[in-house]
Amino acid sequence: MDRQLLLTKIFWHLQANWHLRHQPVPHALSVQETVKGLQALLLAEQGAVLQQTLQLAYARPVSLETLSRLEIALYQEGVDQRVWHAQTTLLDGTTRRFGIIVARAPGTSSLVTQRDFVNLQTLHRQQACYCVAPYVYGTAPMAGGVAAYTVEWLDEYKELVFEITLDGGVFLLNAHGAQRRFSPQESRQLWRRMVEILWWYPTVRAVNVQAGDFVVRQHADGQLALKLTTARELALPSTPAQHLHTILGCMITASGYLSDGQQPFQRSMTRATFVHRLQAVLRRRFGDHAPALAQRQWLLFHAGAFAQQEDWLKEDCVLATYDRLRADHAATVAWHQTRQCWLSYTDAVHRGQLPASWWFPAAEIPLLLDRLGRREV
C-alpha cells in the first residue's frame, strides 16, 4: 500500500489515559521520538508489520487497502517500556484492538523488550489459554534501533497489584478508571489461580506480580480469570520440586515486608519493633503518612491478619497444585501426585538440594498435606 496514503490513516494520541508508573531509565527516548520510530516501523516494507498484526488480530487475511483508520494512544509507561493501545477500523466497520510494547531506550531496555517477546512466544506455545498472544516483533529505527512488538489486547482484563496496607494484604486493580479492591477471600481465589497457572509453565523462573505480569477479568458470575502478560525469566524445564521452589519465590505476603528474607517473620513481634520496621518500608511510598499507616497496620498484625494471609497462601499453593493435576487425573490420583510433589520438594530442601523458602518452612508441609487431605479428598 502507498506509504503516504497509509500515513493519512494513522492517528496518534499522546496524553489520554496513561500514567507514568516509574522513573524512566537514563537516556530514555522522548514520546515524540518514539512516535516517529514506531510510525517508521509500521510503515516499513509496505506496512508488513502492521499487516501481519492485523491478520493476527482479526484471525483472517487482511489487506491494508481495507484499513479505514488506526488510532494509537499512549497507555502506560514503565521503567523500560512504553505501552501503546491501538484500535483499528476496517472499511466494513469491524474493529479490533492490539497493544504495542516498545523499549524506552536502546541498550538494556531494548534487550529486556526483546527478551519479553521471546519469552511470551515460549509461554504461548506451552499453553495458549493462560497468556496473552504475541503478534509481531520488529526494530523501530531510532537511536540505532530499539525493540518493539505488537501483542493481543485484553480489553476486559486489568492489571493486578498486591497491596500490603489493606486487610493484611489484598489485591487491587491497577487500571485507569477501573480501580478496585478485592476482599481477602477474593484475593485467596486470585493467589490460588495464579499458582495453578504457573504450574502450566514449567520453564518459568520468575514473574513479578507487582509489575503487572498478571491481569484479571471478573465474569458476571463472580469468577475471576487470569492471564500472564510476560515472564521475567525462562529456563529449561525443571523437576516438579524445582518448579515448586520457583513458584514459592514468586509469592508475596504482607509479612514478607517484616522479614529479613531468610527466616519467617516473628508473629509475636512487639509493637515498637513492628512499627519501626514497617515505617521504614512504607516511607518510600507514602512519605510522611508512613507512621500513621504503620500504626494502623499494627492493629491488623496484632489481630492476626498478617499471619492469616500467610497461612491461607500456604494452603492455596498446595491446593493450586491439586487444581492443576486435577485437570489431567481423577481426584484421588491428583491428590496422590500433589503429595508426591510437595514431599519431594520437602526432601530436596532437607538434603540441601534446594534452598528453603523464607516464608514456608519445609517442616510444616507434611502436616499441612495431612490436614488438607482429610478435608479435600
Between the CA of residue 67 and those of 97, 141, 149, 157, what are the distances in Å? Answer: 13, 24, 20, 26
CA distance 299 to 284: 21
- Give residue 343's Cα distance to chain centre: 28
- Residues 6+ away with beta carbon under 8 Å from 109: 25, 28, 79, 80, 81, 103, 146
Q: What pLDDT sits at residue 174? A: 76
Q: Please give the mean pLDDT across all residues of the chain.
A: 90
Relative orientation angle of helices 290-302 and 271-286, to the nearest 10 degrees: 140
The pTM (predicted TM-score) of the whole model is: 0.88
pLDDT on residue 377 = 58
pLDDT score at 238: 85
Domain spans, the chain? 3-152, 158-267+304-376
The span from the CA of 318 to the CA of 321, in Å, is: 5
Q: Are 105 and 27 in contact (CB under 8 A)?
A: yes
Residues of the chain with pLDDT under 70: 1, 15-26, 176-178, 260-261, 376-377
